[in-house]
């Protein structure tokens, strides 16, 4: 089944090779994160079957107007010297379900 390719862009983006994969990953991350819970990139990646780098990119996508202009908050988890952060998605209407 071919999904509708979202409006991804960038010099390395190829709709033929990346479109379905990124659209699917975006949907998986949105479905997981729409509950507003705090999660690390590792926790999100484990849940959706992606990489931390890919999940981080999808979280950045949510901030863009074409992907909903949602808010993505970040805070430290654990000791500051650990360098571990967690994220949560705050959905902007009318996307809320």
Residue 9 forms part of a structural domain: no
Residue 23 lies in a domain: yes
Domain membership flag for residue 95: no
DSSP bridge partners of 82 = none
Taking only the tens place, the pLDDT of each residue in 36-83 is 999 999 999 999 999 999 999 999 999 999 899 999 999 999 999 999
Q: Is the CB of residue 85 less than 8 Å from the CB of residue 42?
A: no
- Give CA 39 to chain center in angstroms: 11
Structural domain that includes position 45: 18-90
Two tokens at 69? 């202009």
Preceding peptide of 46 cis, ω within 30°: no
Q: How far apart are CA 56 and CA 53, in angstroms?
A: 5
For residue 80, the domain's CATH number is 1.10.10.10
This prediction has a pTM of: 0.82
Number of domains observed in the structure of the chain: 1
């Amino acid at each position: 089944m071919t999904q509708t390719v979202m409006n991804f862009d960038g010099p390395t983006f190829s709709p033929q090779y990346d479109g379905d994969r990124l659209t699917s990953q975006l949907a998986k991350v949105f479905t997981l994160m729409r509950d507003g819970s705090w999660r690390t990139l590792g926790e999100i990646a484990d849940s959706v079957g992606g990489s931390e780098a890919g999940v981080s990119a999808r979280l950045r996508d949510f901030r863009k107007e074409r992907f909903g202009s949602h808010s993505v908050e970040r805070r430290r988890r654990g000791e500051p010297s650990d360098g571990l952060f967690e994220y949560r998605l705050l959905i902007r209407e009318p996307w809320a379900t």
